[in-house]
Amino acid sequence: MSTVATATAKEVFDLLHEDLAAIEREFGQDAVSAVPAITEISDYLREGGGKRIRPSLLLLAARALGYSGKGMIKLGAVVEMVHTATLVHDDIIDAADTRRGRPSTNRTWGSSKCVLVGDWLYMQAFRIALSERKFRVLELLIGLTQQMVEGELMQMEKLGKPISESEYNDLIYRKTACLFEVSMRLGACLSGADRPLEDALGEYGRSLGLAFQIIDDVLDLTATEQVLGKPVASDLREGKATLAVIHALENGILPADRTRIHTVLRDRTFDYVSHEEILRILNCNQSVAYAMNTAYAYAATAQAALAVLPDSDYKRALQWMPEFVVARDK
Amino acid sequence: MSTVATATAKEVFDLLHEDLAAIEREFGQDAVSAVPAITEISDYLREGGGKRIRPSLLLLAARALGYSGKGMIKLGAVVEMVHTATLVHDDIIDAADTRRGRPSTNRTWGSSKCVLVGDWLYMQAFRIALSERKFRVLELLIGLTQQMVEGELMQMEKLGKPISESEYNDLIYRKTACLFEVSMRLGACLSGADRPLEDALGEYGRSLGLAFQIIDDVLDLTATEQVLGKPVASDLREGKATLAVIHALENGILPADRTRIHTVLRDRTFDYVSHEEILRILNCNQSVAYAMNTAYAYAATAQAALAVLPDSDYKRALQWMPEFVVARDK
């Protein structure tokens, strides 16, 4: 599907290694407050790691357009900080016990402190973004945060109920793709790109994010706990219908199978219908294949959106991302 | 203490009536979202009322400097929205059952939704502020929110413990005076005031806010539930030491009385030492009078800061505010 040779994981890692290390240092310095609880919780979250995919996108977008200033380090830390703030608040809402294999912050520090630390991280992210003195940057970040917050509220309303494919698309856009899109747009902004160019890179981020989340949701259904490193089928156990499940429900499966899926969603447990049984239904109806193909299509859309960029190592790294995202097994 | 004749409550009400009604409409329109829960909770909070003292300050500052544009209506709604967002998150943290005599939002809609609705209100406030296209406006609002959030975290750490007078001052600055200050500064900003003028009006807001909160804290200790319209001595029952209590502890009271105050703070109940007993200790030591005098001094500082303004009905209304704030009985 690509038009130029794509990079390898190693090449991308080498390409971004120094910039990402600088972002890590920036985040570490930015998330220091006179209030010890803030610094403590921020450090805990930062040390918890994560793929740093959002700052990587921002760096690649900026560098692919010839930018090399300090702004990309600052805004790279900003997108990671916004991401972290949403995780802190989401963990409170889901009453999560763990995050990335460690106790969640609300578990360790209590929900009250975590509400405030999440607020603080949002504000700190905006404060750093403000220092770039670009209204467009603030517009993107504030709009993004609002979309994500609305998405989380929409998801709460839908728990335990089947949703349509278009509702699912909207939810995963808000949950994941919106921040991927904004990361790309911010990189474009820094380089002084005009709106059509920013839009093209935004389209890349959006499509990549949708592919990323669809695959995440498929893996939650199909992977083993051993490979995934966390409990599987957590979406269904939380009452969340994801693409393969929606496809099965919308595509004329046997009424008995439909009832089985509804039962799991409603009861949020595999006590009455097993996880294996659900997988059998999804595979019978080609629903997992449908979800995978949808992700492949988004990955191809992402790659096509890169046609606006001049050839470079950074463009090749961007070409590689969608392939990596759809091929991963965890 | 005033240099020009102050207004009466009726005059101030008439002066701001139309602008405040416009702010009410603006807030109503701004807090509408595609997500029904957001609109519902925002409407509930807006209809709950409140004194609208913050938007009033902003209006008076702007108008006293000759501004009359739409910006003061928008930013008036913004400061009320930021204030509302902090109340939503604070009620979660305090696990409050009521707010302004009605069930609190977390009680009605649950904490999870309220975390997100608070987030949304912050973002919406910033989004509207952004439309003014003034970096200083954003800087003030973002800095403010961070100070308030840090203050709330600091207060959590101090619950049940005696604090120093300077710690108390810092806490009430962050809790109340900071938003009063920023409201005044925003009004000044809109009119294009230079920094010394903005600083003078900020000083007015800060001093007024400190006076306001000290009186609030005194009333919590001394008023009757009938007059106050809410349970009294809630601060002590939440383990919060306020100015009169701090004064008593810091000014050589009898060891037995000190122990009584510590007991109430630590146990957060009047089961072992009565509210009347605490009041007796505070009055014996002139501690309530000390707190009142401190508030009067801040009120005078606020009025003195107005010397920079040309005479006008708006200035007279600003002169009136501190007198109203220290004279109220609820």
pLDDT digits (tens, 9 = 90+) for A16-48: 999 999 999 999 999 888 888 899 988 898 888
pLDDT at A2: 43
Residue from B112, B133, B158, B238 to probe the interface with A (highest A Cβ count within 10 Å): B112
- Spatial CA neighbour of B205 closest among B88, B121, B325: B325
Domain range for B288 is 9-327
Residue A3 falls inside a structural domain = no
Nearest-CB residue to A35 (from B92, B138, B154): B154
**CB count in 10 Å sphere of residue A268:** 14
Q: Does A109 touch chain B (CB under 8 A)?
A: no
To the nearest whole percent, how much of chain B has pLDDT over 90?
78
**CB count in 10 Å sphere of residue A115:** 27
Phi, psi of A3 (to 5 degrees): -100, -30
- Spatial CA neighbour of B88 closest among B132, B50, B36, B142: B50
The stretch A226-251 carries a mean pLDDT of 91
CB contact under 8 A, A130 and B124: no
List CB contacts (< 8 A) between B120 and chain A.
Answer: 146, 149-150, 153
pLDDT at B3: 47
Q: Does B123 touch chain A (CB under 8 A)?
A: yes
Task: Return the HEC string of chain A.
Answer: CCCCCCCCHHHHHHHHHHHHHHHHHHHHHHCCCCCHHHHHHHHHHHHCCCCCHHHHHHHHHHHHCCCCCCHHHHHHHHHHHHHHHHHHHHHHHCCCCEECCEECHHHHHCHHHHHHHHHHHHHHHHHHHHCCCCHHHHHHHHHHHHHHHHHHHHHHHHCCCCCCHHHHHHHHHHHHHHHHHHHHHHHHHHCCCCHHHHHHHHHHHHHHHHHHHHHHHHHHHHCCHHHHCCCCCHHHHCCCCCHHHHHHHHCCCCHHHHHHHHHHHHHCCCCCCCHHHHHHHHHHCCHHHHHHHHHHHHHHHHHHHHHHCCCCHHHHHHHHHHHHHHHCCC
Please check the confidence at residue A1 and state whether its pLDDT lies above 70: no
CB contact under 8 A, A35 and B150: yes
Please check the confidence at residue A60 and state whether its pLDDT lies above 80: yes
The predicted-structure confidence for B107-139, as pLDDT tens digits, reads as follows: 888 888 999 999 999 999 999 999 999 999 999
Q: Does A96 touch chain B (CB under 8 A)?
A: no
In this structure, are residues A56 and A75 in contact, taking their beta carbons and an 8 Å threshold? no
List CB contacts (< 8 A) between B150 and chain A.
Answer: 33-35, 38, 120
Cβ-Cβ pairs closer than 8 A, A with B, add up to: 109
Interface of A with B in 190-219 (CB under 8 A): none
Residue B30 falls inside a structural domain = yes
List CB contacts (< 8 A) between A123 and chain B.
Answer: 142, 145-146, 149
Residue from A91, A150, A154 to probe the interface with B (highest B Cβ count within 10 Å): A150
Q: How many domains does chain B have?
A: 1
Residue A4 falls inside a structural domain = no
Please state which of the ranges A167-176, B22-31, B33-42 shows the lowest mean pLDDT.
B33-42
Please state which of the ranges A267-276, B34-43, B179-188, B211-220 shows the lowest mean pLDDT.
B34-43
The predicted-structure confidence for A258-293, as pLDDT tens digits, reads as follows: 999 999 999 999 999 999 999 999 999 999 999 999
Please check the confidence at residue A249 and state whether its pLDDT lies above 70: yes
CB contact under 8 A, A123 and B145: yes
Whole-angstrom Cα distance, residue B89 to residue B95? Answer: 10
Residue B1 falls inside a structural domain = no
Kindly report the average pLDDT of chain B as a whole number: 93
pTM score: 0.93
Please check the confidence at residue A84 and state whether its pLDDT lies above 50: yes
Please state which of the ranges A36-50, A283-297, A302-316, B196-210 shows the lowest mean pLDDT.
A36-50
* Res. B204 pLDDT band, cuts 50 70 90: very high
Kindly report the average pLDDT of chain A as a whole number: 93
pLDDT at A258: 95
Please check the confidence at residue A9 and state whether its pLDDT lies above 90: no
Residue B304 falls inside a structural domain = yes
- Spatial CA neighbour of A198 closest among A188, A206, A190: A188
CA of A146 vs chain B CAs: smallest distance (Å): 6
Whole-angstrom Cα distance, residue A17 to residue A56? Answer: 10
CB contact under 8 A, A126 and B126: yes
CA of B153 vs chain A CAs: smallest distance (Å): 7
Whole-angstrom Cα distance, residue B309 to residue B307? Answer: 5
CB contact under 8 A, A122 and B124: no
Please check the confidence at residue B254 and state whether its pLDDT lies above 70: yes
Quote the Cα angle for B52-B53-B55, to 5°: 70
In this structure, are residues B325 and B9 in contact, taking their beta carbons and an 8 Å threshold? no
To the nearest whole percent, how much of chain A has pLDDT over 70?
98
* Res. B102 pLDDT band, cuts 50 70 90: confident
Tokens standing for residue A310:
């001049």
Residue B262 falls inside a structural domain = yes
pLDDT at A106: 86
Q: Does A133 touch chain B (CB under 8 A)?
A: yes
The predicted-structure confidence for B263-313, as pLDDT tens digits, reads as follows: 999 999 999 999 999 999 999 999 999 999 999 999 999 999 999 999 999
To the nearest whole percent, how much of chain B has pLDDT over 70?
98
pLDDT at B231: 79
Q: Which carries the bigger pLDDT value, residue B18 or residue A49?
A: B18
* Res. B4 pLDDT band, cuts 50 70 90: low
Residue A75 falls inside a structural domain = yes
The stretch A71-92 carries a mean pLDDT of 95
Q: Does B113 touch chain A (CB under 8 A)?
A: yes
- Spatial CA neighbour of A277 closest among A263, A294, A267: A263
Q: Does B109 touch chain A (CB under 8 A)?
A: no
List CB contacts (< 8 A) between A37 and chain B.
Answer: 153, 157
pLDDT at A47: 85
pLDDT at B45: 86
List CB contacts (< 8 A) between B124 and chain A.
Answer: 146
List CB contacts (< 8 A) between B126 and chain A.
Answer: 126, 138, 142
List CB contacts (< 8 A) between A127 and chain B.
Answer: 142-143, 146
Q: Does B37 touch chain A (CB under 8 A)?
A: yes
pLDDT at A91: 87
Whole-angstrom Cα distance, residue B11 to residue A69? Answer: 56
CATH number at residue B107: 1.10.600.10
Residue A26 falls inside a structural domain = yes
CA of A112 vs chain B CAs: smallest distance (Å): 5
The stretch A104-128 carries a mean pLDDT of 92
Instruction: Please tell me what DSSP assigns to residue B173.
Output: I
